[in-house]
Amino acid sequence: MHKTFPINPKSQFSNLSKMAETQFLTTKKRSAAVHDGVDGFDYTTKKSMLFPTTKADQDPAAALAGARHEFGEHGGVNMSIEASATFTVMEPETMRRMFAGELGADRDFFIYSRHFNPTVLNLGRQMAALEGTDAAYCTSSGMAAISSVLMQLVSNGQNVVASRTLYGGTHALLTHFLPRVCNITTTFVDVSDVESVRHAIVEGKTKVLYFESVSNPTLAVADIPELSRVAHAMGVTVVVDNTFAPMVLSPARLGADVVVHSISKFISGGADIIAGKKNLLIIFLFLLFFFCNL
């Protein structure tokens, strides 16, 4: 059983989480209309369309092939790139409903590209299909994805258990920034030794087990199912960097809770992503919104 993190409805972020849950993509044209079913537009496209319905054991290539394709604005084979920072709202009531979380990107209502835009959401949907996760969100860099995940899952005075062999930027984040700024400590272990991992986890204090599916640069392959089993048994969330093996391994299908990629590497592109359970990803959105990492 994977650990989940539901949003507290009394949280000061409850409205933001509600808005985040509605910010999903459709092919419908943008409208200033504010009354469902009265304006003549077909709103049958549900927000679940962002979330692939792939089964956990489905082949990644088949999942990608089955993902909904988004065409260009003028009929292009590929989706148009949305370069706007802000989006037009024609009616004050529409704006009110957008900020209240009643209207979102599931109906083509966008506010800022800092939150969401059609291009980035489409990329996230494809990555979620690849990984077999509930959803995926794109960030401006790999370190933005990694730092956002860790800073939301781990709090002041808590601990991360991480692989000794990590990308240099991740290692620097764990050894320099998080201890100094957030009072978050990291215990580095050889993740090929599962017993060492088990002994390094401090129940109640360790919140995340972090490692790479195929390590950078040593290419050591992690036993994701066994490491996930050990971590979950002790109440720890598993975060896996899958940059080196996107079409070979699917960490979420093997037990990981959250998967991060630097897709400017193997996959090749201009952004980076976080994929995982929907309720976890909504938590990450708070930090992404505030620190402009999308």
Question: What pLDDT, in 10s, does the model give residues 117-172?
Answer: 888 888 888 888 888 888 888 888 888 889 989 999 999 999 999 999 999 999 99
- Which pLDDT tens digit goes with each residue over 16-69? 444 333 333 333 334 444 444 434 333 333 333 344 444 545 666 666 666 666
- The ranges assigned to domains in the chain are 14-131, 141-270
Short-list 43, 22, 32, 35, CA closest to 116: 22
Percent of the chain at pLDDT exceeding 70: 67
Torsion sign across C-alpha atoms 106, 111, 113, 119: positive
Pairing of strands 258-262, 272-276: antiparallel
Q: Which helix (H) or strand (E) holds 21?
A: helix 14-22
Taking each helix axis from N to C end, the angle separating 14-22 and 92-99, rounded to the nearest 10 degrees, works out to 110
Report domain 141-270's class: alpha beta
Catalytic residue IDs: 114, 167, 241, 265
Query: What is the model's pLDDT at position 29?
Result: 36
Query: What is the per-residue pLDDT for 75?
Result: 78
Any idea what DSSP says for residue 89? -
d(CA 191, CA 225): 12
Tens of pLDDT along 213-225?
999 989 999 999 9
pTM tops 0.75: no
